Structure 1
């Protein structure tokens, strides 16, 4: 048996990842080293993760002044906080003196952050408030916590590690036209759950973006969501869905602005698809789960799906929403976090049943975790050779091509 993978064994060759990219066969999946090589993972972080925008939360998780939460992504820890004036800030959890973590709790409410090492004290916006026993010529303003770029759009908090972040204007416009119609700006988090996955992060994302596997792998999802069919088979259903949406006086946006970073803009693609006849929302029986949100006064039998920046994926139903976050941890591990949104005034136990609300996507994600880990173990084989991408995996093909272009772009 011939091993057709390109070996990555000589660290002295600076172009070895570029050679691996050049050896990629168009229309096929990625070769084994993309999922296990440490140098490839390091480039993933540099050119994908630290370059693009990522949704880390809905702002309702820090509703009050002084609220904070700590988010860990790859080898970075980010403090998300709300200052006294209501503004939202994100900064690295690294003291500007000796590098100790200044935030030692996962979440809470505080007036500021005090480094446990030498008691340097920082405000909620990251500014250095006090540095004990430093000389008179010490300039506090030069030693604030490292701030990250933050955008809050329709309640969603996005961060960028880049010194000069990608243009976010098209993302904002499309989020207003999509999530804005569903009332996400005034929504709240009903539940969150993280799934550790023994897999490279790209295998998890590739699984999410295609529904070729939905029929055999997700029988529960496939009973209600027409996306499990080829696109040409659901065109009529989609047209009927759009007519129902228009009849409600609502125009939910869509648009394909999936682009590489060469033009300096963030990538986003929003598209709509139908549920099967009689299905109102993403639930076990297709029936409503929670109070209608945003501009919706009735169910239109549709879903809006949003792919954003490579690691963020959103699902909008008329009565609840889903945020899917993909977080690299190591070359061989990642995390999927699911966040369920409901109307801000909705009360658990009165307006919605939490178990019913979360049932479908918990079942689906448990199945996805198993599939992804089966695949991760399989592609570890020295003799794994990627096969052709199926027609129903068109979004995966686009994602692979986008990814290869990103890691080739210094």
Structure 2
């Protein structure tokens, strides 16, 4: 895989100077994890530019359903309009700025601001503004809306006024998650992990498996990513043969790119489980009904990295959504979402404890490792070392990140 080159932009800005001083092939220096100014630039130039997976649309199945989400200091109302359309709106009254949605989730045709009773439809349009003059234009004062797209059941939002092109992303998801039936899936379980670390430390940990052997013995018993390249190639070839025999065609491809040309970054790749392992579980045995086009297990996994904060893992019988959510310069959250077939019933078709066991164990281990790293990186004596060959995805991610925050 190629490494994205960091663009050089003339500037006397101290953050740009840190980017220019970055040592190729090495990790980021301490300031990138601790400097509030860099964190704010992360928000401005990365989080407010890219697409982010907010949820699976099954969390708002019915007209009027809504749920409140938070990314950094922004609160977003995700709602399903009475016509079935999906909307994403900022939870900020257009009068004096009070929060109009005061419940975490529910069903409502209207949101009434508790301050002055301005009333909004669940599509964000302003329906009533009491005691305002006759010439007041309600149509110009609806809740501010975010661009929203739904692809293979996944809801994406962006804060950008002019969004990055989403159509290629939709196509990539259709040929990957779509083959696993994610569009017809439902959420079986969700869990959020609070992490005392800068959000980049959490993402960097996720994108590399150099740590899998030492930190995740349970995961490493079923997933073969640490084997020598020739062994991995042999396992992958056998996996692809089984997938083809099932008549399933899963798209893959490395389209990890900077946004300079208006494109979003996405990388879809496949890898094998060990022989005899069906899925990501404690013992490698199935944990839920088969999904999508799968009529049997192919012994493989499809993984998707998208836009820097959204990551997906597809097994034939369940799916995983990983969301990385910044909170402050030194805190973040990781939300895990387990998907199963839409008609599957807990207790009959799957055991929730068995379904969630592997990724709960793995994420609890990740939380500890990330927080250990955050405390170590806080040392004034910390110097980033060279990136190992197995950390090629992290090397690519660092280059991509530095380029994104370098461009206005």
- Fold agreement, TM-score > 0.5: yes
Shorter-chain TM range is: over 0.9
Return the offset for 1:263: 0.8
Cα distance in 1 between the residues matched to 2:16 and 2:228: 34
Indicate the residue corresponding to 1:236 in structure 2. Answer: 234
Cα distance in 1 between the residues matched to 2:318 and 2:172: 19
Structure 1 residue runs of 4 or more that deviate by more than 4 Å after TM superposition: none
Indicate the residue corresponding to 2:301 in structure 1. Answer: 303
Q: Note the 1:36-55 alignment, pairs <5 A.
A: 36-55=34-53
Cα distance in 2 between the residues matched to 1:361 and 1:56: 19
The TM-score with structure 1 as length reference comes to: 0.96
Indicate the residue corresponding to 1:6 in structure 2. Answer: none
Indicate the residue corresponding to 1:5 in structure 2. Answer: none
Return the offset for 1:116: 0.4
Alignment match of 1:388 (pick from 380, 386, 389): 386
Which 5+ residue runs of structure 2 have no aligned equivalent?
A: 1-10
Alignment match of 2:362 (pick from 346, 361, 364): 364
Return the offset for 1:233: 3.5
Alignment match of 1:283 (pick from 271, 281, 284): 281
Alignment match of 2:28 (pick from 11, 23, 30): 30
Indicate the residue corresponding to 2:88 in structure 1. Answer: 90
Cα distance in 2 between the residues matched to 1:113 and 1:18: 43
Return the offset for 1:203: 0.2
Asked whether the equivalents of residues 230 and 392 of structure 1 are also in contact (C-alpha less than 8 Å), the reply is no
Cα distance in 2 between the residues matched to 1:236 and 1:113: 56
Cα distance in 2 between the residues matched to 1:267 and 1:114: 38
The alignment status of 1:407 with 2:405, answered yes or no, reads yes
The TM-score with structure 2 as length reference comes to: 0.97
Bigger mean CA offset, 296-305 vs 164-173: 164-173
Indicate the residue corresponding to 1:375 in structure 2. Answer: 373
Return the offset for 1:231: 4.1
Indicate the residue corresponding to 1:151 in structure 2. Answer: 149
Deviations 1:306-325 (A, max 9, x none): 00000000000000000000
Indicate the residue corresponding to 1:182 in structure 2. Answer: 180
Cα distance in 2 between the residues matched to 1:85 and 1:266: 29
Indicate the residue corresponding to 1:172 in structure 2. Answer: 170
Return the offset for 1:227: 1.6
Indicate the residue corresponding to 2:125 in structure 1. Answer: 127
The alignment status of 1:17 with 2:15, answered yes or no, reads yes
SS of the residue aligned with 1:180? helix
Alignment match of 1:113 (pick from 111, 114, 127): 111
Return the offset for 1:170: 1.2
Asked whether the equivalents of residues 102 and 116 of structure 1 are also in contact (C-alpha less than 8 Å), the reply is yes
CA distance 1:314–1:230, shift in 2 (3 Å) = farther
